[in-house]
């Protein structure tokens, strides 16, 4: 059955892939974002599609789109942005969540909120959590996500809004901007440019990386899952852990780069291990990621090689890319 679906933050990395998949499934998709659709190279292929609608809007102000489902992926995820504008980051998370929830309530629409695995916080105790750490980039975003989750539970309890929450862990894939601040993109670009790959601290921090198309499949499954009495909440991400140093070495190997791996000062908010428990997603959604890391990295390297060549032909310099 064809549905009208709004994707808030649809020009973003994950939002773009979600829009494409929903259009492929036959739905009418409203891509709502403050950024122009031209910012996403992948959206160019559907810009004139009869079931694609682009709506320029800042989620921190109220809006109305007649729809059956809403995916709220709006978040200032670039590190530099949330460092420079912490108050704006919290506004996007909390005011944005309120406005999207009101739109869902008015439309009797089902809503899925894209939260973050970072809400689980550091592995050390709160007693050792300094003021500097509490105000760090990643903690500001995490606290905004935590508050937004509470809003979704409140709207479900008080107004009966059918809400779902996906706590998303590290995701990578093609289609992201070359200046994306996610670690995989940064390292692949550096390796292909022959630059140093920078690793914070010892590089022993353990992370997982989920291929974006696997992640989008999980989001859609969560949205389509039967309604339960409370807000259905699941972790979405890979269960395969790898140290950041090992990730850098793998990227250098697969790309054939001669880049060096350079260790920099450790970040104060860089947790030692972040890996999702995806048992609920497996049990309730029948979901798990299927793309091995090595396979995904090869696809990623191929994508970046092509994108860099296009930049070169357009006479964009290395300095402009970085």
Output 208 or 139, whichever has higher pLDDT. 208
In Å, how far from its chain's centre is CA 244?
19
Report whether 18 contacts 46 (CB < 8 A): no
As a whole number of angstroms, the distance between CA 168 and CA 235 comes to 6
Report whether 4 contacts 23 (CB < 8 A): no
> What kind and span of H or E run contains 30?
strand 28-33
**Dihedral sign from CA coordinates of 99, 21, 165, 224:** positive
Q: How does residue 181 score in pLDDT terms, banded at 50, 70 and 90?
A: confident
Q: How does residue 28 score in pLDDT terms, banded at 50, 70 and 90?
A: very high
Query: Can you list the alpha helix ranges (DSSP code H) found in the chain?
Result: 13-24, 79-84, 86-107, 131-134, 137-159, 183-193, 212-224, 244-255, 279-285, 293-313, 318-321
Res 276: pLDDT: 95
pTM over 0.75: yes
Q: How does residue 126 score in pLDDT terms, banded at 50, 70 and 90?
A: very low
Please give the angle made by the CA atoms of 83, 168 and 94, to the nearest 5 degrees: 55
Res 320: pLDDT: 54
Task: Summarize the chain as % helix, strand, coil (round to 5).
Answer: 45, 20, 35
- What is the torsion angle, in degrees rounded to the nearest 10, for the CA atoms of residue 262, residue 266, residue 272 and residue 274? -80
Residues 197-219 pLDDT 10s: 999 999 999 999 999 999 999 99
Residues 273-318 pLDDT 10s: 999 999 999 999 999 999 999 999 999 999 999 999 988 877 655 4
Task: Return all residues near 292 (Cβ < 8 A) that are at least 6 apart.
Answer: 240
Q: How far is CA 281 from CA 61, 105, 165, in A?
A: 33, 26, 12
69 DSSP β-pair partners: 5, 110
As a whole number of angstroms, the distance between CA 294 and CA 247 comes to 10
Residues 38-51 pLDDT 10s: 888 899 889 899 99
Q: Identify the DSSP state of 267.
A: P
Q: Is the pLDDT of residue 69 over 80?
A: yes
Res 313: pLDDT: 78
Res 128: pLDDT: 41
Q: How does residue 256 score in pLDDT terms, banded at 50, 70 and 90?
A: very high
Q: Is the pLDDT of residue 135 over 70?
A: no
Q: Is the pLDDT of residue 125 over 50?
A: no
284 token code pair: 């309730």
Q: The domain 1-168 belongs to what CATH superfamily?
A: NAD(P)-binding Rossmann-like Domain (3.40.50.720)
Residues 217-254 pLDDT 10s: 999 999 999 998 889 999 999 999 999 999 999 999 99
* Tokens 């022993």 belong to residue: 204
304 token code pair: 């970046």
**Dihedral sign from CA coordinates of 73, 74, 80, 82:** negative
């Amino acid at each position: 059955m064809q549905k009208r679906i709004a994707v808030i933050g649809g020009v973003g990395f994950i939002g773009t892939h979600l829009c494409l998949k929903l259009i492929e499934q036959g739905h009418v998709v409203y891509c709502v974002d403050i950024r122009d659709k031209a910012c996403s190279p992948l959206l160019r292929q559907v810009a004139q599609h009869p079931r694609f609608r682009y709506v320029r809007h800042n989620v921190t102000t109220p809006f109305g789109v007649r729809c059956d489902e809403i995916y709220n992926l709006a978040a200032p995820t670039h590190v530099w942005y949330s460092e420079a504008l912490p108050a704006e980051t919290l506004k996007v998370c909390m005011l944005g969540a309120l406005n999207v929830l009101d739109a869902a309530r008015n439309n009797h629409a089902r809503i899925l909120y894209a939260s973050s695995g970072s809400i689980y916080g550091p592995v050390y105790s709160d007693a050792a959590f300094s003021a500097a750490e509490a105000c760090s980039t990643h903690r500001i975003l995490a606290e905004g996500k935590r508050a937004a989750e509470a809003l979704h539970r409140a709207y479900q309890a008080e107004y009966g809004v059918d809400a779902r929450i996906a706590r998303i862990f590290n995701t990578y894939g093609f289609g992201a901007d070359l200046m994306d601040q996610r670690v995989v993109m940064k390292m692949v670009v550096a390796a292909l440019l022959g630059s140093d790959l920078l690793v914070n601290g010892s590089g022993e921090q353990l992370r997982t990386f989920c291929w974006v198309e696997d992640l989008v499949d999980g989001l859609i499954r969560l949205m389509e899952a039967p309604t339960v009495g409370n807000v259905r909440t699941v972790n979405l991400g890979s269960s395969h852990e790898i140290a950041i140093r090992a990730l850098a070495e793998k990227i250098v190997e697969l790309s054939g780069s001669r880049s060096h791996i350079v260790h920099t000062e450790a970040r104060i908010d860089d947790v030692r291990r972040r890996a999702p428990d995806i048992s609920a997603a497996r049990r309730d959604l029948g979901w798990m990621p299927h793309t091995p890391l090595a396979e995904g990295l090869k696809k990623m390297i191929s994508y970046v090689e092509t994108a860099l060549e296009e930049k070169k032909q357009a006479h964009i310099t290395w300095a402009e890319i970085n």
